[in-house]
Structure 1
Amino acid sequence: MPPSTTIQETGFPPRPVDLRLYAILDPERARGRPLPDLALAAIDGGVTLLQYRDKYADTRRLVANARAIREAVAGRGVPLLINDRIDVALAAGADGVHVGQDDMTPADARRLLGGEAIVGLTLNNVEEAAAAAREPIDYGCIGGVFATSSKTDAKPPIGLDGLAAVAAAARGHAAHLPIAAISGIDETNAAAVIAAGAEGVSVISAIFMADDVAEAARRLRAIVDHSLAALGHQGDLTPEDRP
């Protein structure tokens, strides 16, 4: 499990969220394969948190897809979040949402979803990271770290130095805010991302564009686990995960 969290300035106690391998399932990066099947394969490979993101489907299709994914992964112990859409999360019975800086505020999302839901927030810079301490969120996701083909409106990448600065700002204002990193992350740079201050990596193409989704997830999970262990986070890993 990830390190324990403590109450931030809001007085809201964040839920423990395992960010080690955070997979974002997007139909645009799925090679036409069934989303529930991909979700199961990713979990079999070691994904610890799953998000459904779809920028083009209508609301009915979003809800139907989210329900199908939720039903497929039920009982596997991996939470399902919905990108942006609090209404879809409610309708589909998802475990929570991830919102960006231009979406519904985390406070409004929390009020609608309740205290048991997982609420994550995108952090693009040190100012947003500092402000995150006042938000009722369970984790922050910093990005984009590297260039990506998974988002058409992506901002310029902040690189590893930017990631380190934003992560430090987030943790300097919140007693402990779990941090993941996103954008352009794969097997070649995941270890460097962990070394720069992330507790996990959020990926799309590196898992869901692979021929063997489970094996791609397995390799990434091993890199993340070993990188965390090298930094002394042995408590983050279960005994069978430890090198």
Structure 2
Amino acid sequence: MSTVSAQAIFDAHTARFGAADAFDTPDFTRDDPVYRAAKEACLRLGFIDADAECLAQAWEARSARLGFDAGAWPEEPVDFGLAPWPRSLAFAPCPRALGLYAVLPDAEWVGRMARAGVPTVQLRFKSDDTRAVEREVRAAIEAVAGTPALLFINDHWQAAIEAGAYGVHLGQEDIGVANLSAIRAAGLRLGLSTHGYAEMRRADALSPSYIAMGAVFPTTLKRMATAPQGTARLRAYARLLRAYPLVAIGGIDFERLPAVLQSGVGSVAVVRALVAAASPEAEVARFRLALQGKPGQETGPLGHLA
């Protein structure tokens, strides 16, 4: 195996993602020169340690698989240890392109946006009152009745199963506590949030229905453990996870929409862009028009393609 310099990897990534600040060279526990150069360069480019480690391993695997060191950024699922499709324990599929995906605070908003033509809606209702959660989930399901909107319930998987929701969306912190087997057995679709390579690999191991990637831009709605990913990284993530329906989320408004769509994702999740708009229905119409015919916007329940 030929060696590769950290500078070569740094240059390859900088050309795609932009420069980053300098850093102190860390201590490495592996001797492979490709791994070491990649880990060093990825840390220098601002990736958190878990993502830099994931990328370094992928670069090492790619070098071993191809027998040489090409300068291209690793994007093949096999180099990241992602299993091939189909998979026996995959969650139920959802449409390849979920389109405009509205994340909403209550059932009233869910119904309003579903009637406005939003194809995918998520109830993100925050409460520690179990009965209040159950009422809101049932109300949201009733609110989308008679519309083509697909309803995902954020976090409250038990209530979603009991009420017969279309799907559940979970964050990384919820994966370890939710009963994923029960969600799968009930036939609900599962969406998972990710914020970088390590979390994407963790999500892929669970074979969800779709994967959300963010935050693409800065957002004030929640405290993020990672810096905004940006559209260049989003493009790389979309190529790696091309077997999945993909949702971009985080700080996306209408002005930023074209750059996000260039990544090839099939769905864009928005929060403030709708609920804080002077005319949410008019904003829905603008988004839907812009989303029509864009790359990744195939119609129909295609599910996983790889």
Q: For this structure pair, what is the TM-score category when the shorter chain's length is used for normalisation?
A: 0.7 to 0.9
Residue among 140, 144, 150 paired with 1:69: 140
How high is the TM-score relative to the length of structure 1? 0.78
Q: How many percent of aligned residue pairs carry the same amino acid?
A: 31
Q: Compute the TM-score of the two structures, normalised by the length of structure 2.
A: 0.63
Three-state SS of the structure 1 residue aligned to 2:241 is: helix
- Quick check: 1:101 aligned with 2:172? yes
Alpha-carbon distance between aligned partners in 1 of 2:257 and 2:177, rounded to the nearest angstrom: 28
Aligned pair in 2 of structure 1 residues 24, 47: CA closer, same or farther (>3 Å)? same
Mapping of 1:122-201 within 5 angstroms? 122-153=193-224, 155-171=226-242, 176-201=243-268
- The answer to whether residue 219 in structure 2 is matched with residue 219 in structure 1 is no
Q: For the aligned residues, what is the CA RMSD?
A: 2.5
Residue 101 of structure 2 aligns with an amino acid whose one-letter code is Y
Preserved CA contact (<8 Å) 2:101 2:122: yes
Q: 1:121 to 1:13 in 2, by over 3 A?
A: closer
Aligned pair count reads 216
Residue 22 of structure 1 pairs with residue 89 of structure 2 = no
User: What letter matches 2:90 in structure 1?
Assistant: F
Output one character per residue of 1:140-159: Cα deviation in whole Å (capped at 9) or x when no partner. 00010001122244632111
By how many angstroms is 1:196 displaced?
1.5
Query: Is this contact kept in 1: 2:91–2:189, CA < 8 A?
Result: no
Of stretches 140-149 and 122-131 in structure 1, the one that deviates more from structure 2 is 122-131
Larger Rg over CA atoms? 2
Letter in 2 for 1:88: A
Query: What's the counterpart of residue 32 of structure 1?
Result: none
Residue 204 of structure 1: how far off its partner (Å): 0.8
Q: Are the counterparts in 1 of residues 92 and 187 from structure 2 also a CA contact under 8 Å? A: no
Q: Give unpaired runs (5+ residues) of structure 2.
A: 1-83, 301-306
Alpha carbons of 1:96 and 1:187: their partners in 2 closer, same or farther (altered >3 Å)? same
Q: CA deviation at 1:13?
A: 6.3
The aligned amino acid for 1:26 is: P
- Measure the CA separation in 1 of the matches of 2:238 and 2:87: 17
Q: Displacement, 1:63? A: 1.5
* CA–CA separation in structure 2 for the residues paired with 1:11 and 1:54: 29
SS of residue matched to 2:125: coil
In the TM superposition, residue 131 of structure 1 has moved relative to its aligned partner by 3.6
Per-residue deviation at 1:164? 1.5
Opposite residue 299 of structure 2, the aligned amino acid is: D
Which 5+ residue runs of structure 1 have no aligned equivalent? Answer: 1-5, 28-34, 238-243
State the distance in 1 between where 2:183 and 2:273 align.
33
